[in-house]
Amino acid sequence: MLFFLEVILSGLLAGVMYSLVAIGFVLILKASGVFNFAQGAMVLFAALTFVCLLEKAIPFWAAFFITLAVMIVLAVAIERIVLRPLVAKPPIILFMATIGLAFFLEGLGQGIWGADVHGLNIGIPDDPFEWLMNKGILISQFDLVAAFIAAILVTVLVLFFHKTATGTALMAVSDDPEAAQSVGISLRWIWVITWSISGFVALVAGIMWGTRLGVQYSLSLIVLKALPVLILGGFESIAGAIIAGLIIGASEKLADVYIGPYVGGGLENFFPYFLAMVFLCFRPYGLFGREAIERV
């Protein structure tokens, strides 16, 4: 029983890390209807900038805020150079533009900071949490801190969306950009805001994942882990991204431990995609996505 609990807990905590990446997608999709292929590249770019600033002996919080400023500048530049000329084009065009953006960011990041693997240590030990260890459950302290940070991040985002005029304006734009403009909402401003927030989420995700895996090119591939989370949660729901992240994390661990031995192991790597496929067949809009209702 203790072992079962340990598997579930560590799965849930891993899931939080997936959610962290998935939220970045959801934000941009909600506000501009674009599936941002460059989200992974943004995570890499943010983590790379942050870790290299740290290596130049800049203190943690200074490096954090400088990187945040860089991500905001990036958001302004993306709005001005990529989004503005493509306004009112079909979503597929914007999607392709973000593919280009992904390559550009990966190149830019590595061009400036080099392609080396950087270790990132933010001072949280990846050791078992003692209180739980004494009860017989092995859970990493780092995972717990990551979950805590994600919880704060999500709370702040939810409050922002539901309690501020800018947040509700963002939701209005995601519902109907034309109507949103007609009531006085500036589309350009909303885009800069969303890409900035998404850059901020990418920075947090980049720091957490970078600490886990080291800051390197493969960091941009964690988006692949976010895809099943998005499919499960529904592409437009922040709550969905969180809950789906938890489900994916827990189920892949459980499947690996309890079903893995019968099928030769390695289940953890593909189980999330299997789950996503099942969802695509039976509930394609995800757990929390809006079912498209059309009048005929």
Partner 1 sequence: MSMNVDRDHILVEVEDIHITFGGLKALNGICMNINKGEILATIGPNGAGKTTLINAINGVCHPNPGRIVFEGKDLTNMRPHHVASLGIARTFQNVALFKGMSVLDNITMGRHSKIKSGFFSQGLYWGLGQKMEIEHREAVEIVIEWLEIQNIRETPTGALPYGLQKKVELGRALAAEPKLLLLDEPMAGMSLEEKEDIARFILDAREEFGTTICLIEHDMGVVMDVSNRIVVLEFGEKIAEGTPEEIRNNQRVINAYLGTDGH
Give the one residue of 57, 131, 178, 296 binding partner 1; rule: CB under 8 A.
178
Report the site for partner 1 in 185-224 (rule: CB under 8 A). Answer: 185-187
Residue whose CB is less far from partner 1, 190 or 243: 190
Q: What distance, in Å, lies between the first and last C-alpha atoms of the chain? A: 53
Residues that bind partner 1 (rule: CB under 8 A) add up to a total of: 24
Q: Is 273 left (phi over 0), alpha (psi -120 to 50) or beta?
A: alpha
Count of alpha carbons within 13 Å of 215, Cβ hemisphere only? 34
The nearest distance, CB 174 to partner 1, in angstroms, is: 8
Give the one residue of 1, 184, 281, 296 binding partner 1; rule: CB under 8 A.
184
**Residue the block writes with tokens 């499960």:** 232
Verify binding: residue 155, partner 1, rule CB under 8 A.
Answer: no
Verify binding: residue 86, partner 1, rule CB under 8 A.
Answer: no
The nearest distance, CB 288 to partner 1, in angstroms, is: 12
* Residues contacting 251, CB < 8 A, separation 6+: 11, 271, 272, 275
Verify binding: residue 172, partner 1, rule CB under 8 A.
Answer: yes
Verify binding: residue 149, partner 1, rule CB under 8 A.
Answer: no
Residue whose CB is less far from partner 1, 121 or 186: 186
Verify binding: residue 126, partner 1, rule CB under 8 A.
Answer: no
If you ran DSSP here, which 8-state letter would residue 290 be given? Answer: P
If you ran DSSP here, which 8-state letter would residue 128 be given? Answer: B
Nearest to 50 by CA among 180, 199, 165, 191: 199
Q: How many angstroms separate the CA atoms of 70 and 50, rounded? A: 10
Verify binding: residue 80, partner 1, rule CB under 8 A.
Answer: no
Using DSSP's 3-state secondary structure scheme, residue 31 falls into helix
Stretch of residues binding partner 1 (CB under 8 A), selected from 34-42, 50-58, 179-187, 261-269: 179-187
Q: How many angstroms separate the CA atoms of 296 and 294, rounded? A: 6
Using DSSP's 3-state secondary structure scheme, residue 122 falls into coil
CB 226 within 8 A of CB 276: no
The nearest distance, CB 293 to partner 1, in angstroms, is: 7
Verify binding: residue 55, partner 1, rule CB under 8 A.
Answer: no
The nearest distance, CB 34 to partner 1, in angstroms, is: 18
Stretch of residues binding partner 1 (CB under 8 A), selected from 148-156, 175-183, 249-257, 264-272: 175-183
| Single-letter amino acid, residue 164 | T
Binding site for partner 1 (CB under 8 A): 163-169, 171-172, 175-176, 178-187, 290, 293, 295
